[in-house]
Amino acid sequence: MKTYQPKHKDVYRDWQLVDAEDQVLGRLSTKIATYLIGKHKSKYSAHMDMGDYVIVTNAQKVRVTGKKEKQKVYYKHSGYPGGFREVAYSKLKAERPEKIIELAVKRMLPKNRLQGPRMTRLKIFNSSEHPYAEKLGKKEDK
């Protein structure tokens, strides 16, 4: 018996709608990453980009557990001397709540050449309105 290997013509992309209201950040990000990778499909293959488009609504209403609301800090470094930056979770949630979900999902995806194309299929909105309403439920070829 041979192992099935999907072809590029077998790749189709659905549109998934995820509501972030009152969802825990980590569990929500895991669900989104699964959709972006395509692991929820029966024809999943690790070396191909089989994932779907994901629309996340109500990003400002996502929650975290424990004391993370006050203690969580995001770090980055520009690579230059003195380029270390940090921003608190509460400040980032007030200014750019979609960035919180974007960072969580990006850090859950594999660090390879498929990470960029997968992240471009992630659409995050602060409210329940989004411009992709007509695309939901439709399948698109690659």
Mean pLDDT over residues 109-135, rounded?
A: 94
* pLDDT for position 113: 95
Mean pLDDT over residues 44-64, rounded?
A: 94
Q: Which fold has domain 11-64+98-131?
A: Ribosomal Protein L13p; Chain: A; (3.90.1180)
Both tokens assigned to 32: 């989104």
Per domain, the residue ranges of the chain are 11-64+98-131
pLDDT at 6 over 90: no
pLDDT at 78 over 80: yes
CA of residue 80 relative to chain centroid, distance:
29
Q: Considering the entire predicted model, what is its pTM?
A: 0.92
Question: What phi and psi, each to the nearest 5 degrees, are found at residue 50?
Answer: -105, 5
The percent of residues above 90 in pLDDT, for the chain, comes to 80
